[in-house]
Amino acid sequence: MENEIKPRNVAILIYENVEILDFTGPFQVFSVGSRSGKDFNVYTVAQHATSVKSFR
């Protein structure tokens, strides 16, 4: 019997004035390294369910 490995959850925190690279970099690394979602379930989280502006 083969052991099925469940994907690990990776939450990336976003916040007001976040640098775009601060969340897109980790998001891309975990997504690309995930083998089509088999290793990592990558998503963003924030303190409030409202729009967040990034720093330019």
* pLDDT tens by residue, 23-55: 999 999 988 887 776 888 889 999 999 999 987
Average pLDDT, the chain: 87
Domain ranges of the chain: 8-55
Strand pairing partners for 13?
A: 45
pLDDT in tens, 4-22: 778 899 999 999 999 999 9
Indicate whether this model's pTM tops 0.95.
Answer: no
The whole-angstrom separation of Cα 26 and Cα 32 is 10
Q: Cβ distance 41 to 10 under 8 Å?
A: yes
